Structure 1
Amino acid sequence: MGPDDVYKGKEIDAILRAAARLQEEDDSRADKGLGLSLSEVEEIARDSGIDPKYVRQAALISSSDTDDEDRFHFWGGPITIRRSFIVNRPLSKREMEELVPSMQRITDNGGRTDSLGNSLTWTSHTRQNQGSMVIMMQVEGDKTVCTLK
Structure 2
Amino acid sequence: MPKRFTEADAQRIFAAAAERQLERKQTEPGLSLEELEEIGRTSGLDPELVREAAMDALRPDPAATTKTVMGIPLAFRRERFVRGTVTPETWAEIVMDLRRQFDKPGLVTDIGPLREWRSVANDQQQPVTVTLSPERDGTRVVIEQSQTNAALGLGIATGINAVMGVVFALIAVTGVESDMFVPAIVMLLFAALFGGGSYGGMRAYASSQIAKFDATLDRIDLALRNAEADAQEAEPLAEAPPARSGRIDAALLDDEPEAETPLADRLRSRA
TM-score range, shorter chain: 0.3 to 0.5
Q: Specify which structure has the bigger relative contact order, considering alpha-carbon pairs within 8 angstroms and separated by 6 or more residues.
A: 1
Structure number, greater radius of gyration: 2
Q: TM-score w.r.t. structure 2 length?
A: 0.26
- Kindly indicate which of the two structures has a greater share of residues assigned to strand: 1
Q: TM-score w.r.t. structure 1 length?
A: 0.45
